[in-house]
């Protein structure tokens, strides 16, 4: 499962990348072109849709970083993982849980996201 762990780490790194061109390149490596991303706040289809979502999240939570909140649990072509969003090295402000489905090409084809801890007013 180390490959799945690396894929999830690279996926989260894309969420932290603030340079748009670099982020798009990172997403192209880990995400299928027509990938679907759904969480309680947004549902988008395509890498461009997720890229726009990431840019909006970065605008709302500037200076905060995503990190893996525990072990990536995976089987077959599915992975689940907890992530944290907060100041680097500090208590997370937001905690979420994602399920990622891999396509036949080894890239993520779908992400289903859940929010476990969200600050008031978000």
Q: What is the 3-state secondary structure (H, E, C) of 16-56?
A: HCCCHHHHHHHHHHHEEEEEEEECCCCEEECHHHHHHHHHH
**Residues, the chain:** 122
Give the residue extent of every domain in the chain: 1-117
Q: How far apart are CA 64 and CA 108, in angstroms?
A: 24
pTM, two decimal places: 0.94
Tokens of 27: 């997403």
- List, in order, residues 6 or more apart from 89 with CB less than 8 Å away: none
What residues contact residue 28 under an 8 Å CB cut-off, 6+ apart? Answer: 47
Quote the distance between the C-alpha of residue 49 and its chain's center. Answer: 13
Q: Is the pLDDT of residue 2 over 60?
A: no
- Is the pLDDT higher at 13 or at 1? 13
Q: Which CATH class is domain 1-117?
A: alpha beta
**Segment 80-119, tens digit of pLDDT:** 999 999 999 999 999 999 999 999 999 999 999 999 999 8
Cβ-contact 61, 93 below 8 angstroms: yes
Report the alpha-carbon distance of residue 77 to residue 17 in Å, rounded. Answer: 26
């Amino acid at each position: 499962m180390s490959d799945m762990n690396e894929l999830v780490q690279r996926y989260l790194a894309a969420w932290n990348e603030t340079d748009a061109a670099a982020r798009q390149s990172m997403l192209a490596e880990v995400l299928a072109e027509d990938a679907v991303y759904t969480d309680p706040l947004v549902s988008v289809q395509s890498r461009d849709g997720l890229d726009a979502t990431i840019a909006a999240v970065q605008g709302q939570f500037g200076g905060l970083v995503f990190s893996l909140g525990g072990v990536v649990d995976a089987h077959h072509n599915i992975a689940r993982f907890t992530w944290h969003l907060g100041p680097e090295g500090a208590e997370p402000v937001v905690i979420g849980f994602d399920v990622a489905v891999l396509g036949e090409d080894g890239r993520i084809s779908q992400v289903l996201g859940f929010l476990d801890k969200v600050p008031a007013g978000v």
